[in-house]
Amino acid sequence: MNTTTPHNSAAPGEIAGTVLMPGDPLRAKFIAEEYLEHAQCFNTIRGMLGFTGDYKGKRVSVMGSGMGMPSIGIYSYELYSVYDVKSIIRIGTAGGLQPTLRLGDLLIGMGACTDSNYGAQYHLPGSYAPVASFSLLRKAVEVAERRGFSYQVGNLLSSDVFYCDDMEDLAKWKKMGVLGVEMEAAALYMNAARAGKKALAICTVSNLIGEEGFLPVEKQLETYRTMIEVALETAEE
């Protein structure tokens, strides 16, 4: 059976059961080159690179998701529904909202609030609360604990807006205990729920909302490696 889509040229069997999804396809390439043995590229359509290889004897894939919920919505839907992927772990960056956070901390998204209308397609008679797979979340926490990484678990905000016109909007999410703002997790969690599959978002705090500056360049690779390694150790067979 031909399982290719307009966005993914992978042949049957070329994608592993677990896919790590950074937003940037070049970060997917970096992960494949730095962490995976025998990595093979399965997709180049639209520059959205995807690779499959072995990590400590475990077969894992990594593929870019692009930016925002519409983009990860397309790619994750096809991975779950066309390629029968079991688990997707988003790895990306987030702006920290809470005063207890530091640059480089890991945020493990137990839930994902959103200002998006993505969930309207399901025609639910109320508000849906997108949540992560508990088995993936528990394993990620165990890995972070074992490795001594600084992390927090809780709600993320998946926003359609990067350049917010009214910063008071973020203050309202902050008062409800939301840890950080990113742009993809809610759509990923909804797609996983609809497909009966698993999903988790792990984000690095790249900036603190309301403060100047981002994670220093010299620290970025170190902190991204922390996030990548937690995701790879969390990945299921």
pLDDT number for residue 164: 84
Return the closest-CA partner of residue 191 out of 95, 83, 43, 47: 83
- Identify the H or E element spanning 182: strand 180-182
Helix H or strand E segment including 72 = helix 69-81
* pLDDT interval class at 77 (50, 70, 90): very high
Q: SS3 of 162, please?
A: coil
**Amino acid 217: pLDDT:** 72
Residue 215 reports pLDDT greater than 90: no
Say which residue the tokens 């079991």 belong to.
86
What value does the mean pLDDT of the chain take?
95
As a whole number, mean pLDDT of residues 5-29 equals 96
Fold for domain 18-234?
Answer: Rossmann fold (3.40.50)
The helix (H) or strand (E) run that includes residue 94 is strand 87-96
| Number of Cβ within a 10 Å radius of residue 150 | 13
- Please determine, for residue 225, whether its predicted confidence score (pLDDT) is greater than 70: yes
- What are the Cα distances from residue 147, in Å, to 5, 109, 144, 171? 39, 19, 5, 32
Q: How far apart are CA 234 and CA 63, in angstroms?
A: 16
**Residue 1: what pLDDT?**
43
Span 48-56, mean pLDDT?
A: 98
Label residue 153 exposed, middle or buried (CB < 10 Å: 0-12, 13-18, 19+): middle
pLDDT of residue 149: 96
Pairwise CA distance, residues 116 & 180, whole Å: 16
Residue labelled with tokens 């978002």: 201
pLDDT of 2 higher than 60 = no
What pTM did the predictor assign? 0.96
Whether residue 131 contacts residue 108, with contact meaning beta carbons closer than 8 Å, is answered with no
Instruction: Give me the mean pLDDT over the 11-38 stretch.
Output: 97
Determine the Cα–Cα distance for residues 59 and 42; give it in Å rounded to an integer. 14
Q: How do residues 107-144 score in pLDDT, each as one tens digit?
A: 999 999 999 999 999 999 999 999 999 999 999 999 99
Domain boundaries, the chain: 18-234
